[in-house]
Amino acid sequence: MQQPDSLKAPTRRALLQSGLAAGALLMHPRAALAAPPGFEKWREGFRARALAKGVSEATWNRVMGHLEPDMTVFKELQSQPEFNEEIWQYINRRVSDWRVIHGREALRKNEAVFARIEHDFGVERGTLLALWGVESAYGDPQVQQNHMRPVFPALAALAWNEPRRRAYWQSELINALKIVDHGWSTPQEMRGSWAGAMGHTQWMPEVWLNVGMDYDGDGKISPFGKPDDALGSTARYLVNRGKYHAGEHWGYEVRGASGSSSGSRSYAAWSSAGIARADGQPFPQPDASAKMWVPVEGGPAFLLGPNFYAVRSYNPSMNYALAICHLGDRILGGPPFIQPFPGSERALTLSEVQEMQTRLTRAGFDTGGTDGRVGNDTMAAIRNYQTQMGLQPADGYGGLKVLARLRQGP
């Protein structure tokens, strides 16, 4: 199954660079059984700071009194896939047949919500659908169950012992405590990524507190359950923090981008310089501005408008923003990129992914299912298969080459 990107990608603004006692309910299964040396002293000192910031003593005792830090977060902190994949692999895995098909189904089921958001915020539905699909597989409960962890042990570990951005993590831990204080959620419900991002569109606690809105009118603000709050608040985020321009497209694949070009110009000025849309269509808003970007020499070139950078405000990876924008177009019926990336191969179809998963599982490499989504289990199975068969690089990318080798048999 597909692991949501925010488990691997940076947090929203700057991350790139119980049955027993309350504490037992908050423990991640892989967390240490006892607090590491130094944690108890830190927790006692941090308590005064949290109370001074307005966290109630009752909430502190409920959440933090018996909590053990989730030390597995430090391993997760080292892995950022935006820098470990070729851009075409990164895009192929995210702009998959599964996400396109299920994105259209998610739109059908939530048409009224997306129409309301477009009216209220001007944020085009494709962008929100793509964010939803990449961040949580359109709210699939299996993502919550299999890939999310209690956020308080994770945030406590980072707030205590992450050396580079400790102040940030401490602030987010206090924000999470305030959410419990507000009665918007419970420590048990607040499961998310190793970095503390939660729900349909993976809100960090600060975003939940300061940008979140009660869009479904149920009296609380929540990224869980119905998607209305998550989608409406994400649109609000893109407008307020990303400076989203209502009525403009994120950008276009173009041709004629020979040599280097820099700076922002109007689409009309780019046209005068010999730049045209790759599909031959005219630029619909010639007076809007855009910047040229050629991710890889010899690959597709793009004119990027302000809304591309609004998406990038959600995650500061250019690859992430391109994948989101392209997936949104594909969900709404747009074509693949016209110019391929050098050395790339087309993405597998849904049926081909399912065939690959079936063949891997039969060969003894369990993919955790054959649903057509490529996530942690499938990538691990591919990597192990590549290693056993001597296929290089053993990078866990399941494409045409891996499928062709599987079809050859043992």
- The pLDDT assigned to 11 comes to 41
18 pLDDT tier (thresholds 50, 70, 90): very low
Q: What residue ranges do the domains of the chain occupy?
A: 1-248+324-336, 251-304, 350-407
CA torsion sign, 281 to 283 to 284 to 290? positive
Range picked from 35-39, 160-164, 352-356 for highest mean pLDDT: 352-356
Going from the C-alpha of 22 to that of each of 89, 93, 157, 323, the distances in angstroms are: 43, 39, 17, 40
Q: Supply 331's token pair.
A: 């969900």
The CA distance from 327 to 99, in Å, is 8
- The pLDDT assigned to 77 comes to 79
- The pLDDT assigned to 257 comes to 77
The CA distance from 126 to 81, in Å, is 24
Over the stretch 231-242, which tens digit does the pLDDT of each residue have?
Answer: 999 999 999 999
Contacts with 198 (C-beta within 8 Å, 6 or more apart), sequence order? 148, 151, 190, 191, 192, 204, 205, 208, 223, 224
- The pLDDT assigned to 3 comes to 40
307 pLDDT tier (thresholds 50, 70, 90): very high
Q: What is the average pLDDT across 152-170?
A: 95
- The pLDDT assigned to 34 comes to 56
- The pLDDT assigned to 5 comes to 44
- The pLDDT assigned to 262 comes to 74
Question: Residue 25 pLDDT more than 70?
Answer: no
Question: pLDDT > 70: what percent of the chain?
Answer: 89
Q: Specify the amino acid at residue 266.
A: S
Cα–Cα–Cα angle for 303, 251, 270, rounded to 5 degrees = 35
* Helix-, strand-, coil-residue percentages of the chain, each rounded to 5: 50, 5, 45
For the whole model, what pTM was predicted? 0.88
Contacts with 146 (C-beta within 8 Å, 6 or more apart), sequence order? 1
Over the stretch 386-404, which tens digit does the pLDDT of each residue have?
Answer: 999 999 989 999 999 999 9
Question: Residue 320 pLDDT more than 70?
Answer: yes
What DSSP line would sit under 202-236, residue for residue?
Answer: TB-HHHHHHT---TT-SSS--SSSSSHHHHHHHHH
Question: Residue 29 pLDDT more than 80?
Answer: no
Return the SS3 of 298. coil
Q: Worst-scoring range by mean pLDDT, 64-68, 230-234, 257-261?
A: 257-261
Q: What is the average pLDDT across 284-299?
A: 96
DSSP 301: E
259 pLDDT tier (thresholds 50, 70, 90): low
Q: What is the average pLDDT across 243-267?
A: 89
Over the stretch 199-210, which tens digit does the pLDDT of each residue have?
Answer: 999 999 999 999
Q: Worst-scoring range by mean pLDDT, 66-80, 180-194, 291-305, 352-366?
A: 66-80
What DSSP line would sit under 142-184, residue for residue?
Answer: HHHHHH-EEHHHHHHHHHHH-SSSHHHHHHHHHHHHHHHHHTS
Q: Worst-scoring range by mean pLDDT, 134-148, 211-225, 330-344?
A: 134-148
Q: Supply 145's token pair.
A: 């169950």
Question: Residue 378 pLDDT more than 50?
Answer: yes
Question: Residue 258 pLDDT more than 80?
Answer: no
303 pLDDT tier (thresholds 50, 70, 90): very high
Neighbours of 86 (CB within 10 A): 16
Residue of 127, 11, 22 lying closest to 65 (CA atoms): 22
- The pLDDT assigned to 28 comes to 40
Over the stretch 103-147, which tens digit does the pLDDT of each residue have?
Answer: 999 999 999 999 999 999 999 999 999 999 999 999 988 787 778
